[in-house]
Amino acid sequence: MITPVEKKVGVGEYTLRYAEAGKGESLVMLHGSDHRENWRVWEPLLQLSEGNHLIMPDLLGYGGSSKPTETPDHRKQALVLHELMERLALEKVSIVGSSWGGQIALEYALEWPATVNSLVLIASTYDKDQLPRLRKMGRPTLIIWAEDDLVTQLKAGYSLRDAIATSRLETLPPVAKDPRFGFTISHKLERFRSEEILGLIMRFIRDPEGVIMEPPEMENELRGMALKKKDDEREGGITST
């Protein structure tokens, strides 16, 4: 059983709690904006610590970290995260961000691109002013979505894919099939689709460039369908004359 070690560190005027597990390439994992969230949302994905050094902070205002009167925005969170990385002497990291954590990850990568190997965005939010800036970011990015996410809808995933030239979008089938579940169930993919998410991330961090260069699995099938349609139209045209 993997048991992360909790630690606290002073960052400027604040104190951040974070958990560490594993050894290897550094993988920073950022939770979302729900007030109940902290680093423990990543417990279903702790297998990532096999071969990676996981750093899972409680964002400023959450969990065991300092709680300012107003929760800092994504820009301030990214700045504090950068200061944490400096305190931990981490020169280069990959970042996994879920929901608002993805928006913070994007801001971090935009401000300090040289310190980022790759990004994984899970049902990520984003600020509209980030989109035009993302075109120049150039970091390999895996974008993961569920078809039925009602919080950050699938069209947001396509928007991020189109804005980040070095990205790949993986769309998971509908998650919330049981009407007893709340509509946000698909928004918590790290919990409800942990096996699929784990497989996608592990494959990506082994070879980020290779993954984003691969065409989506359906591309050949879709291309075949389009060619067949053209052939049918051509044959139909010949038959009708």
CA 5 vs. chain centroid, Å, equals: 23
Angstrom distance (rounded) from CA 26 to CA 158: 28
Q: What is the pLDDT of residue 61?
A: 96
Angstrom distance (rounded) from CA 178 to CA 56: 31
Tell me the domain boundaries of the chain. Answer: 5-206
**What's the length of the chain?**
241
Cα separations in angstroms, 166 against 11, 27, 68, 119: 32, 19, 36, 10
> SS3 for 42?
helix
If pLDDT is split at 50, 70 and 90, which confidence band does 26 have? Answer: very high
Q: What is the mean pLDDT of the chain?
A: 88
Residue 124 has pLDDT above 50, yes or no: yes
Cα separations in angstroms, 41 against 34, 138, 189, 218: 11, 28, 10, 31
Residue 191 has pLDDT above 70, yes or no: yes
Residues 60-93 have pLDDT tens digits of 999 999 999 999 999 999 999 999 999 999 999 9
Angstrom distance (rounded) from CA 28 to CA 42: 11
CATH topology of domain 5-206: Rossmann fold (3.40.50)
Could you give the count of Cα atoms lying within 13 Å of 213 in the half-sphere of its Cβ? 4
Q: How far from each other are the two terminal CA atoms of the chain, in whole angstroms?
A: 71
Angstrom distance (rounded) from CA 111 to CA 224: 42
Residues 146-168 have pLDDT tens digits of 988 888 889 999 999 999 999 99
Mean pLDDT, range 172-176, rounded to an integer: 82
Residue 2 has pLDDT above 50, yes or no: yes
Angstrom distance (rounded) from CA 37 to CA 177: 24
Cβ pair 123, 170 in contact under 8 A: no
Phi first, then psi, for residue 178 (nearest 5°) are -90, 120
Cβ pair 66, 41 in contact under 8 A: no
Phi first, then psi, for residue 108 (nearest 5°) are -60, -45
